[in-house]
Chain A
Amino acid sequence: MENQFKTISKTLFSLINKDEVLTVSLTGEKSQFIRLNNAKIRQTGLVNDTDINLKMISNGTTCTGSFTLSGNDSFDLGRAKSEIERMRTESSQILKDPYVTMPSESGSSHEIKRSNGLSFENAVDAIMPSIQGVDFVGILSNGRMFRGNANSLGQEHWFETESFSLDYSLVAKNHQMVKGTFAGTDWNQNNFEQYLDQSKKKLKMMELNPVKIDTGNYKTWFEPAAVSDFINMFSWNGISEASIQQGCSGFGRMRNENIKLSAKFSISEDFSLGLVPKFNSNGEVSVERVPIISSGELKNTLVSSRTASEYGQVSNYAEPSEHLRSPSMAPGELNQNDILNEIDRGLYLSNIHYLNWSDNPKGRITGLTRYACFWVESGEIVGPIDTMRFDDSFYNYFGDSLLQVGKETEFIPSTSTYGNREMGGTTCPGILADSFALTL
């Protein structure tokens, strides 16, 4: 794959004119998917898919294009050349862009991760016998992923990794469910079976009699998986500098009215885990750690080079879409064993679902409880709750209402496979909020 990328990018660089700058990037995967329902196989197959993205700067304009790499060099070069011709023609037709951002020459990188993963041939036998006897539903996504980036100024990046993710739900007879995601790079059968046993134990707790609770405000513990869903919302009309400048961000208040979150809340963009490439789609390389919010104070937004140029800011080499690529929230002091006592009376939420801004400028998010969510009384779990809708602002639960932050962080892998398999995930602890609003 790397050689194909080199061949196509070098040939294209030789074709461009002196006053043109070309960036070529690659997103590819060789994947296996096994979709499961009721501990049986619903659908299964393999996908080879690699896209070449082109960005040409010429004549004061930016043109972009992409096509699927077929693997046949002469065919692919033909496609690439016709894309270059198309962009060249368009660059004389379309409007000039005063904020054209030239790629920089910030050095090259090369990283290939080899691991002892789950082979496509063995996947069915590794998983299926262990999951019998429970109502197991979910998906195995498995295989290699590739990212490349090169530009006509001489910069070259390559990143290649292999991973698996078995993302699943176990369903109890009363329709209550437990969520699990067994993910990693090296497959270990014992670790898998132990992880699954933990989920099965949790499922037993779901068989307790469900508790009906009223709408209202409750003291609430959010497991790391739930916290990561809130953090994901920061990547949508959130921490992007362009969003703030264009009046579409919940972080405008922190910038313009100097409002702070809790001193217990800190989050940064942290590439030190190495699960995603440090280079972005422009080939720019971020520093290893960009503090976003430190002890409740807004330190940095995500600034792409284009936003920097348009709004007079300094780029921290965010992606053009200015989303968090490797968020990491700092742990706090609360021990795992003390959580139920600290809740005393309130909610224990393992997962949340279907989040959306209900009042974006005020930071208000609505969504629902899902999976193992419990009512706690006198520091003990009484039973699972029925699905409830919440509607509350992150300025509350990450702000004034934040009582404690968990001592242990978890890595919540991204399981998204829209278009292609996503890399990386979110590292965060759980949090305890004094008050959280349930509305329906």
Chain B
Amino acid sequence: MRDKINLKSLLDAVNVPADWVGIREVYESNTPRMIRDGIPVSNGHYSTHGVMVEVLVNGQFGYFGTPDISKKGIEEASNKAYFQAKAASKYALHRFTDEVRPKSAGKYSSEFEKDLRDISAKDINIMLLDACNALKVSDKIVSASSLANVIETNFHFVSSNGSDVVQDFLMLEFDLSATAVDGANQQTRTFGGMRGTCRQTGREFLDNIEILAQANKIGNQAIELLSADETPTGEMDIVIAPDQMMLQIHESIGHALEVDRILGDERNYAGWSFVKLEDFGKMQYGSKHMNITFDPTVSSEFASYAFDDGGLKAEREYLIKDGLLVRGLGGKESQVRSGLEGVANFRASSWNRAPIDRMANINLEPGESSFDEIIGSVEKGIYVESNRSWSIDDYRNKFQFGCEYGKMIENGKLTKTIKNPNYRGISNPFWNSLKMVGNGDTYGIYGTPNCGKGEPNQVIRVGHASPLCLFENIQVFGGA
């Protein structure tokens, strides 16, 4: 836990003629533990603690990120932030007011039943060792690993216009991975792909029996992939499991709808967007089966919170309703710049970075179809699980994804296992080819700790939940 600091009294120490002042304190610790091939390869505890002092001068914000949380440290930080803002204000892109830092007060705590921090280092090591051993189902598993990272974040924001927000997060990243090798054939299978299993949760998530069963399944599927056929090449139907849907949503919807991208802020780094400001309320983003929400209220999802880092209250909103684009991912600054309605998504990676438009939880809402109905409707196609490769262009049009594990679907039935399943497409036509959406029984909650964006660069946590989905006539192909 962080050392308690009286931020409000530090706010009084600020002595610059700014139009608005805010102090945002972040303490965060990561406690990753990892066993690979029966050996402990990580037992760490990494923490970071500091404040960002932000001031508004002549409509221009300036900031100073500092770990010196003394009265003197805050005084110096605010002086330098003031100078920086003043010098820049001659060339301000937009003249802001404190409207973009609304007064807000409240608290948030991650929901959990049993505290993750109560598990001893010894007990986690043993649990991970057992899981690692369970992954090694054969000598052909050349490497197996199990990982648990407990993350604790404490957030406190105060401002000269009366904001006082405290948010405490407790999160878990969990992964199992087995790599099988037979000659030149290498296949890796994981628990949800690319650290996809990440939640705000407690100790209740770590059920030993369930973990061992998953480890055994993952190990066996890695071996199964060694003798599997290559994925066929051609245009066919594809049924995508929630742990791959999550990245499909992330890359081809989430980033494309970030209003700061649409306004051009990211053109030198992450890129622009095929979506334009005038498309909101008009563009048919996908088929009528498509309903996408910004939802920071799902209790166990990775990026749930009550307020964003500018103090805006976070609420569930539809971004896409029955396929129609209705709302963008723009925080208060983007809302005043664009004139569009937005969401509370103004987020920073830590105390040393300024907030920008980010995803939080971006979810595809469940439909009506059961797993069997979806598979049963496909004459010829593939079924894919768990992301292993992702790439999309700077306008978020041309994507290509690779998955860990696939099955052929023939005459309405899942048949043989296939390896190296890949598919590619263009975002807008792809989402318009969405034919069926699974019901709540097919729904899965995932996320990623590694969403990169911004200058200076920031990596942030996002959550994505989705049911199983069927897309028609998609280009699929296998390995080299």
Q: Which residues of A contact B (CB under 8 A)?
A: 31-35, 37-51, 61-72, 83, 86, 90, 93-99, 120-121, 124-125, 128, 137-139, 141, 167-169, 171, 175, 177, 179, 245-248, 252-253, 256-257, 310, 353-364, 366-368, 370, 387-389, 391, 393, 416-419, 421, 439-440
Q: Is B244 an interface position by the 8 A CB rule?
A: no
Asked whether B389 lies within 8 Å of A357 as measured between CB atoms, the reply is: yes
Q: Which of B122, B269, B395 contacts A94 (CB under 8 A)?
A: B122
Q: A66-B48, A70-B67, A70-B68 are in contact. List 12 more A-B contacts (CB 8 A).
A: A31-B456, A41-B92, A43-B63, A45-B84, A49-B352, A61-B43, A62-B40, A62-B43, A69-B67, A70-B49, A247-B181, A248-B179
* A440–B397 alpha-carbon span in the complex (Å): 10
Within 8 A of A (CB), among B377-416: 389-395, 397-398, 400, 402
List 23 interface pairs A-B (beta carbons < 8 Å), by A numbering: A44-B85, A45-B62, A46-B80, A49-B50, A62-B43, A66-B48, A71-B73, A94-B125, A128-B90, A138-B455, A247-B181, A248-B143, A248-B179, A356-B389, A358-B402, A358-B480, A360-B186, A364-B479, A387-B398, A391-B400, A417-B456, A418-B452, A439-B424
Contact with A along B455-471 (1 / 0, CB 8 A): 11111000000000000
Asked whether B39 lies within 8 Å of A97 as measured between CB atoms, the reply is: yes
Find chain A residues with CB under 8 A from B200 CB.
none
* A31–B64 alpha-carbon span in the complex (Å): 10
Asked whether A417 lies within 8 Å of B84 as measured between CB atoms, the reply is: no
Contact with A along B163-175 (1 / 0, CB 8 A): 0000000000000
* A393–B67 alpha-carbon span in the complex (Å): 45
Give me the 6 closest cross-chain CB pairs, A-B, nearest first. A45-B63, A246-B143, A362-B480, A417-B456, A40-B93, A139-B455
Q: Is B307 an interface position by the 8 A CB rule?
A: no
- Measured between C-beta atoms, what is the minimum distance from A77 to chain B in Å? 14
Find chain B residues with CB under 8 A from A179 CB.
268
Chain B contact patch, size range: 35 or more
Known A45-B63, A252-B186; judge A35-B90 contact (CB<8 A): no
Q: Is B176 an interface position by the 8 A CB rule?
A: no
Within 8 A of A (CB), among B52-68: 52, 54, 60-68
Find chain A residues with CB under 8 A from B459 CB.
418-419
Known A138-B455, A256-B184, A417-B457; judge A353-B394 contact (CB<8 A): yes
Q: Is B213 an interface position by the 8 A CB rule?
A: no
Within 8 A of A (CB), among B432-480: 452, 455-459, 475, 479-480
Asked whether A65 lies within 8 Å of B45 as measured between CB atoms, the reply is: yes
Q: Is B300 an interface position by the 8 A CB rule?
A: no
* A138–B268 alpha-carbon span in the complex (Å): 5
* A98–B41 alpha-carbon span in the complex (Å): 11
Q: Is B120 an interface position by the 8 A CB rule?
A: yes
Within 8 A of A (CB), among B82-128: 83-85, 87-88, 90-93, 120-122, 125-126
Find chain B residues with CB under 8 A from A41 CB.
60, 88, 91-93
Q: Is B422 an interface position by the 8 A CB rule?
A: yes
Find chain A residues with CB under 8 A from B68 CB.
48, 70-72
Asked whether B390 lies within 8 Å of A356 as measured between CB atoms, the reply is: yes
Find chain B residues with CB under 8 A from A96 CB.
40
Asked whether B91 lies within 8 Å of A128 as measured between CB atoms, the reply is: yes
- Measured between C-beta atoms, what is the minimum distance from A407 to chain B in Å? 29
Find chain B residues with CB under 8 A from A416 CB.
457
- Measured between C-beta atoms, what is the minimum distance from B70 to chain A in Å? 6
Q: Is B294 an interface position by the 8 A CB rule?
A: no
Q: Is B17 an interface position by the 8 A CB rule?
A: no
- Measured between C-beta atoms, what is the minimum distance from A294 to chain B in Å? 24
Asked whether A366 lies within 8 Å of B69 as measured between CB atoms, the reply is: no
